[in-house]
Amino acid sequence: MDNLEDIQKKLGYFFKDADLLVLALTHSSFANEHGLENNERLEFLGDAVLEICISRILFFGFPDASEGHLTKLRAGLVSESSLARVARFLSLGDYIFLGKGEEYQGGRDRDSVLSDTLEAVLGAVFLDAGYSAAQECIEKVFREFIPESLELLPSYKDYKSRLQEATQSLFKARPVYTLLESTGPEHEKIYRVQVELRNKMKIDARDSSVKKAEQKAAGKAIMELSRRAQ
């Protein structure tokens, strides 16, 4: 763990259970080569922890912002590209355990690898010390990436945010995303996600990560809603 001290300093959190941090940094490609557990379950947990912690930061940080503004900002902050920027700010890629093939293909600087690993690390903080520690860690890590005033709120145009705005306007309800299946080897999995709207419309899409599949399904749903409105 000596060589992981720097990343813990950057996180502002030192693990009581060092194995949790090691697991959070273990990519599936490395795990497959060495018969180890990978960080995907921690990524799943970290995704949820990150969303609630970011929501709290924005809720109290922008008391005059509308629900729509807060939703857009949160969507931008937890998007794959934004999480990858945060991970690069932490130099997280230097600490990830990658398999030889993934390393050769540039995985250490790939957005999907960086964002997934950051979520896994935050999930590990939550398991190691609970919600308060995770909230404090996330506030420190994301401080440089949150606008200082409402006027500086960026306008994010990702498909999931646009679909949520549309469905709230049309149906007074949010879309529901469901992971239907995952296929293929661990290092090349394809995820199939379905989005269901209040009008019973169901649309699915496939991609190399759950987040990408959700975005793709949302984009298809927007197109279908637009077609039906014509």
DSSP characters over 80-129: HHHHHHHHHHTTGGGG-B--HHHHHTTGGG-HHHHHHHHHHHHHHHHHHH
Amino acid at 170: L
| Of 47, 80, 102, 214, catalytic | 47
- Report the alpha-carbon distance of residue 113 to residue 87 in Å, rounded: 10
> CA Rg, the chain, in Å?
18
| Of 80, 102, 116, 119, catalytic | 119
- Report the alpha-carbon distance of residue 156 to residue 147 in Å, rounded: 13
- Report the alpha-carbon distance of residue 87 to residue 118 in Å, rounded: 6
Find tokens 């194995």 and name the residue. 19
Instruction: Say whether 47 is catalytic.
Output: yes
State the SS3 of 139-207: HHHHHHHCCCCHHHCCCCCCHHHHHHHHHHHHHCCCCEEEEEEEECCHHHCEEEEEEECCCCCEEEEEE
Q: Are 195 and 221 in contact (CB under 8 A)?
A: yes
Instruction: Say whether 33 is catalytic.
Output: no
- What are 51's two structure tokens? 């969303």
Burial of 94 (0-12, 13-18, 19+ CB in 10 A): exposed
* Residues forming the active site: 47, 119
